[in-house]
Amino acid sequence: MAEPLSQVVASMPRRRFVALMALFLGPAVAVYTLFSIWPLLATMGLATYASDASGGYRFVGFANFISLFGDAVWSKPFWNALTNNLIFFAVHMLVQNPIGVVLAGLLSLPGLKLKGLYRTLIFLPTMLSVVIVGFSWNLILSPLWGVAQGALKAVGLGAWFAPWLGLPSTALVTLALISVWQFVGIPMMLIYAALLNIPDELVDAARVDGLGHLRIFLHIKLPLVLPTIGLVSILTFVGNFNAFDLIYSVKGALAGPNFASDILGTFFYRTFFGNQLQLGNPTMGAAVATAMFFIILAGVCLYLFLVQRRMRRYAF
Amino acid sequence: MANLRVAGLHKSFGSAKVLSDIDLDIADGEFVVLVGPSGCGKSTLLRMIAGLDAPSAGDIFIGGKLVTALAPAERKIAMVFQSYALYPHMNVRKNMTFGLKFTGVAPAERARRVAEAARMLRLEALLDRYPRDLSGGQRQRVAIGRAIVREPAVFLFDEPLSNLDAALRISTRVEIARLHRLLRATIIYVTHDQIEAMTLADRIAVMSQGRIEQAGKPLDLYYAPANLFVAGFIGSPAMNFFPAEVESVAGGEARLSGAAMAPLVLPADGLAKGAKLTVGVRPEHLTLADEEGFAAEGVVELVERLGEASFAYVRRADDKMMVVEVRGRETPEPGRTATFRAPARELHLFDTEGRRIKGAG
Amino acid sequence: MLAARARVAAVHAVLIAYCALAIGPILLVVMNSFKARNAIFGAPLAPPSAATFSLIGYEKVFRASHVGVYFANSLIVTLVSMALVLLFGAMAAWALTEYRFRGSTALALYLSIGIMVPIRLGSVAILTMMRSAGLNDTLTALILVYIAQGLPMSIFILSEFIQQIPRDLRDAARCDGVPETRIFFEVIAPLLRPAIATVAVFTIVPIWNDLWFPLILTSSDTTHTITLGVQQFLGQYITDWNSVLAALSMAILPVVAIYVVFSRQLISGLTAGAVK
């Protein structure tokens, strides 16, 4: 993009240029600012207020945040939600990404037949609504229907079965695995695309050098797609900390059992809108949202400074 | 180093026949160039020798051993790719030693080989650099270095100079010739450039449409091309072709006539009356001087002056162009009609199928 | 050679196993939606036979909910949002790529923040804004929000595409004296057709499947989208297995059908835009 500005454009009268830019950039910037950036800033501003007796708002500075992090009424669910979110994220990183890498690696093997069919099928769950996915799995795993139980029994693992979604100890991880099931298509496709980008001659050179397929994957292909895996990781992070739909669909706003599956998204929703147990509290909700924003921001900055700097995108 | 033999090789991709009946015998230490236009199958043949693709039929022997079913690593070959194929995430040293690690070469031996190759190719200062920090010529040398350290029985080069600029191409060509002498290596080299072929090869195999048209020493191909294709491919600018017919045969001599040439008398040598053939004359053998033998008249349309040699493009009587090489400062003027002659011994004759009837020399 | 064949077989085995895991649950749900209740429980893994075939669930869904309305709403919201995201996004991407002015890099950076930062976090203020603008419980509110959500990623993708367009084309148009706006709409825009597939993948699916904003911004039944409608139906009829399975299948089948038809474009769109 370092080419000189066209003479026609450079010699345009300033007023016309500004009008032109306003035409092209105006709509996008306006909508984006009005409905993305401004609400975010307004929310952060709102977080510094609290409702008073008359129903209006008064400025309270960081009081909401102090309550959020320290006051037992708010901080207990907050830290619970945050911890759960981290577990949620960990499961994705440990299960989703390796599976995505392996599937992408298998699909990128040269000469594989039916490649398109496999890709289409594996990506199918990603297209579905989370509501559908959540509910379907809820049914399948439900002891009432017995499908999962029957399937496990068929392979001799019947004793393993438990109403995982209903137990506080396993609900969160089960939901995380359902989310992995749905979304593994995305890292798979991104890594697959990156693997395709590796020139064939490089693989040929490695074959001539004496490497078998597995070694080629581990020593040549994998290091070259690490930047993509990094990208996938940060997208997973942002997505996980934004997650709400799945938990809500399966467990409702209360994210049971006993808040075991509560993550920041559901906590935010509950705080803002209220539910059977509490009234909606917009200012605290705003505080939660602000906290979420900074957590996500921290993660992204960490990624950009630590990971991005080390990883080089290789041009071929 | 070892010899290499390809016997009865065929390759089809689906219904497309890419290589037909390839037979090639390469002696130990020989430099053989596979040359031909795009799509002739030369790269496919090379990949098959390397073991990267499997033939549909036929066998390959390296050093007398049957290798057709063996993986590339088991064939004791090394390959230099057109785009160098250096591992971008490894430095030069690692690029060169990477393969050796997996074939069980001890670290001390690896270090020795790298040092030796680096010295040969003047890469010592670059060993810790990464491919992205190297120029095209440097990358090419690293690719060659990677091949050398494998101490293979056969070196395979796949159009290694195509991505280099003109000056670099010449200096690298000299480099490769030097390495061949130094290592006494068996080399199979693929290129579409017939000048590279002529200058580097001990023997050339000219390929077209999946077949070897002719294999032999460069000058043999130049003086005695086996068919029209080889005659037109070897030599730059290409040979001029004149369609002709045997008008009469009498007293051991045949009289040939053609639309674009003056009547020509040659020893009969098995030529029959009424036979149609093609007469071939190289631009460098046509001259304005008086010569006994061949003559063709035409209008000079364009003269390209390159210094000592110039090329005149002449419109013939049959409206096609012929190219004449003119030496010296005196060149014919455009627009002028002139007669160009060539001695009979420099003529090539080809039959209706394009096969050689008579060669030059 | 045999080792190679065994390897290929193993690869296919793994892929087939995973595919079964991927579509098994979906097949199960759809299959059972066509069965009578006792067949669902009695033999869940069996496909519907003549004896067990039943459309009772589907009838209930159509009777008890405004499925048609939900579907229409989703369609309107998704298509309008997509169209405007493409229009605004292409114009912005063009302006940022082509005309470099002071602050254009900053502006580009500003617009790309939205890729990383989730728009949901500002929901508190969005809801207030919509209420005071009288747009509460309208499809317009959803559309505006989805445009804002989709712009950053699509501007990013479209910028990459625009950079691929040969410079000669617009230089030639300029030499011919074509005004700048016409250059964009008549020279550049038609060339962006391949980009539509990529942008579509990243915009349509999240909008269609979104639960959050319909939940927050729409209250009356007539403005619900299909995703929200299905979710609420499920919540309401949770013990009515026939209806539940039918509702799920009705939500699954259109998406699957469109996906299967357009899968090649979708996937190439995803891989094309994603290798950044």
Of the residues C13, C31, C54, which one is the last residue of a structural domain? C54
> C146 with C106, same domain?
yes
Instruction: Give the distance from residue A103's alpha carbon to the nearest chain B alpha carbon, in angstroms.
Output: 23
Instruction: Give the distance from residue A72's alpha carbon to the nearest chain C alpha carbon, in angstroms.
Output: 23
Between B78, B88, B103, which is nearest A314 by CB? Answer: B88
Angle at which helix A14-32 crosses helix C139-164, to 10 degrees, equals 130
Between A136, A196, A242, which is nearest C248 by CB? Answer: A136
C-alpha separations of A14 from A228, B42, C175, C179 in Å = 42, 60, 20, 15
The mean pLDDT of B166-180, rounded to a whole number, is 89
Cα–Cα distance for residue pair B88/B78, rounded to 1 Å: 19
Give contacts of B86 with chain A, Cβ < 8 Å: 205
> C204 with C175, same domain?
yes
Cα–Cα distance for residue pair A251/A269, rounded to 1 Å: 13
Cα–Cα distance for residue pair A218/A223, rounded to 1 Å: 7
Please answer whether residues C34 and C252 qualify as being in contact, where contact means their C-beta atoms are separated by less than 8 angstroms: no
Q: Are strands B186-191 and B31-35 parallel, antiparallel or unpaired?
A: parallel
Q: pLDDT tens for residues A163-188?
A: 777 788 888 898 999 999 998 988 98
Q: pLDDT tens for residues A83-116?
A: 999 999 999 999 999 999 999 988 888 778 888 8
DSSP code, position C47: P
Nearest CA to C73 among C202, C210, C262?
Answer: C210
Q: Are strands B31-35 and B203-208 parallel, antiparallel or unpaired?
A: parallel
Cα–Cα distance for residue pair A310/A307, rounded to 1 Å: 5
> C41 with C95, same domain?
no
pLDDT at A1: 39
Tell whether the model's pLDDT for residue A5 goes beyond 60. no
Please answer whether residues B152 and B77 qualify as being in contact, where contact means their C-beta atoms are separated by less than 8 angstroms: yes
Percent of chain B with pLDDT over 70: 99
Instruction: Give the distance from residue B322's alpha carbon to the nearest chain A alpha carbon, in angstroms.
Output: 42
- Distance spanning both ends of chain C, measured CA to CA: 38
Angle at which helix C104-116 crosses helix C139-164, to 10 degrees, equals 120
Q: pLDDT tens for residues C185-200?
A: 887 888 887 788 778 7
> C204 with C266, same domain?
yes
Interchain proximity A207–B81, CB inside 8 Å: no
pLDDT at B320: 92
Give contacts of A20 with chain C, Cβ < 8 Å: 95, 99, 180-181
Cα–Cα distance for residue pair B37/A239, rounded to 1 Å: 53
| Radius of gyration of chain B, Cα coordinates, nearest whole angstrom | 24
Between A201, A209, A316, which is nearest B98 by CB? Answer: A209
Amino acid at B184: R
Bond preceding residue A227 cis, omega within 30 of 0: no
Give contacts of C155 with chain A, Cβ < 8 Å: 28
> C103 with C149, same domain?
yes
For residue B149, give the chain A residue with the closest CA: A209
pTM listed for this prediction:
0.79
Nearest CA to B119 among B137, B141, B140, B101?
Answer: B141
> C146 with C48, same domain?
no
Interchain proximity C26–A136, CB inside 8 Å: yes
Distance of CA B82 to the CA centre of its chain: 16
> C257 with C141, same domain?
yes
Q: Select, from the ranges A125-139, A141-155, B181-195, C171-185, the one with the highest average predicted confidence (pLDDT).
A: B181-195
Between A3, A122, A265, which is nearest C22 by CB? Answer: A122
Tell whether the model's pLDDT for residue A6 goes beyond 70. no
Instruction: Give the distance from residue C204's alpha carbon to the nearest chain A alpha carbon, in angstroms.
Output: 10
Q: pLDDT tens for residues C30-69?
A: 888 887 777 777 766 667 766 677 777 777 777 777 778 8
> C16 with C142, same domain?
no
DSSP code, position B165: -
- Distance spanning both ends of chain B, measured CA to CA: 35
C-alpha separations of C142 from B65, B275, C66, C126, C224 in Å = 73, 85, 19, 10, 10
Please answer whether residues B40 and B16 qualify as being in contact, where contact means their C-beta atoms are separated by less than 8 angstroms: no
Instruction: Give the distance from residue C53's alpha carbon to the nearest chain A alpha carbon, in angstroms.
Output: 18
The mean pLDDT of C7-12, rounded to a whole number, is 86
Of the residues C20, C35, C54, which one is the last residue of a structural domain? C54
Tell whether the model's pLDDT for residue B361 goes beyond 50. no
Q: pLDDT tens for residues C65-91?
A: 777 888 888 889 999 999 999 999 999
For residue A314, give the chain B residue with the closest CA: B88
Between A201, A220, A224, which is nearest B81 by CB? Answer: A201
Give contacts of C118 with chain A, Cβ < 8 Å: 238, 241-242, 296
Cα–Cα distance for residue pair A270/A278, rounded to 1 Å: 8
For residue A202, give the chain B residue with the closest CA: B85
Interchain proximity A315–B81, CB inside 8 Å: no
**Mean pLDDT, chain C, as a whole number?**
81
Give contacts of C99 with chain A, Cβ < 8 Å: 5, 9, 17, 20-21
Cα–Cα distance for residue pair C161/C159, rounded to 1 Å: 5
Q: Which residues contact B236 (CB under 8 A, 6 or more apart)?
A: B194, B195
* Cβ count near B76 (within 10 Å): 19
Q: What is the ipTM of this complex?
A: 0.81
A310 pLDDT tier (thresholds 50, 70, 90): low
Bond preceding residue A257 cis, omega within 30 of 0: yes
- Distance spanning both ends of chain A, measured CA to CA: 19
What would the DSSP string read from start to end of B186-242?
Answer: EEEEEES-HHHHHHH-SEEEEEETTEEEEEE-HHHHHHS-SBHHHHHHSSSSPPEEE
Nearest CA to B81 among B24, B132, B142?
Answer: B142
Amino acid at B65: K
Structure tokens at A120: 């289409």
Q: Which residues contact A4 (CB under 8 A, 6 or more apart)?
A: none
For residue C261, give the chain A residue with the closest CA: A120
> C86 with C34, same domain?
no
Between B50, B73, B89, which is nearest A210 by CB? Answer: B73
Q: Which residue has the higher pLDDT, A155 or B274?
A: B274
Angle at which helix A97-107 crosses helix C2-33, to 10 degrees, equals 120
> C72 with C183, same domain?
yes
Q: Which residue has the higher pLDDT, C101 or B325?
A: B325
> C50 with C144, same domain?
no
**Mean pLDDT, chain A, as a whole number?**
83
What does the domain layout of chain A look like in residue ranges?
7-59, 68-310
Cα–Cα distance for residue pair A52/C28, rounded to 1 Å: 53
Cα–Cα distance for residue pair C17/C21, rounded to 1 Å: 6
Of the residues C32, C54, C76, which one is the last residue of a structural domain? C54
Percent of chain C with pLDDT over 90: 10
Cα–Cα distance for residue pair B156/B187, rounded to 1 Å: 6
Domains and CATH numbers, chain B: 4-233 (3.40.50.300), 240-358 (2.40.50.140)
Chain A positions touching chain B (beta carbons under 8 Å) = 199, 201-202, 204-211, 215, 219-220, 223-224, 312, 314-316
Tell whether the model's pLDDT for residue C269 goes beyond 70. no
Tell whether the model's pLDDT for residue B48 goes beyond 80. yes
Q: In this structure, what CATH number is given to the domain that contains residue C161?
A: 1.10.3720.10
Give contacts of A113 with chain B, Cβ < 8 Å: none
pLDDT at A316: 57
Please answer whether residues B359 and B231 qualify as being in contact, where contact means their C-beta atoms are separated by less than 8 angstroms: no
The mean pLDDT of B168-197, rounded to a whole number, is 90
Between C125, C264, C275, which is nearest A193 by CB? Answer: C275
Interchain proximity A209–B81, CB inside 8 Å: no
Parent domain of C49 = 2-54
The domain total for chain C is: 2
Interchain proximity A210–B103, CB inside 8 Å: yes
Q: Which residues pair with B13 in a beta bridge?
A: B16
For residue A20, give the chain C residue with the closest CA: C181
Interchain proximity A21–C99, CB inside 8 Å: yes
> C42 with C124, same domain?
no
Q: pLDDT tens for residues B233-258?
A: 998 899 999 999 998 888 888 898 88
For residue C276, give the chain A residue with the closest CA: A228
C-alpha separations of C72 from A133, B331, C84, C85 in Å = 22, 82, 18, 20
A65 pLDDT tier (thresholds 50, 70, 90): confident
Domain A68-310 CATH assignment equals 3.90.1300.10? no
Instruction: Give the distance from residue A175's alpha carbon to the nearest chain C alpha carbon, in angstroms.
Output: 15
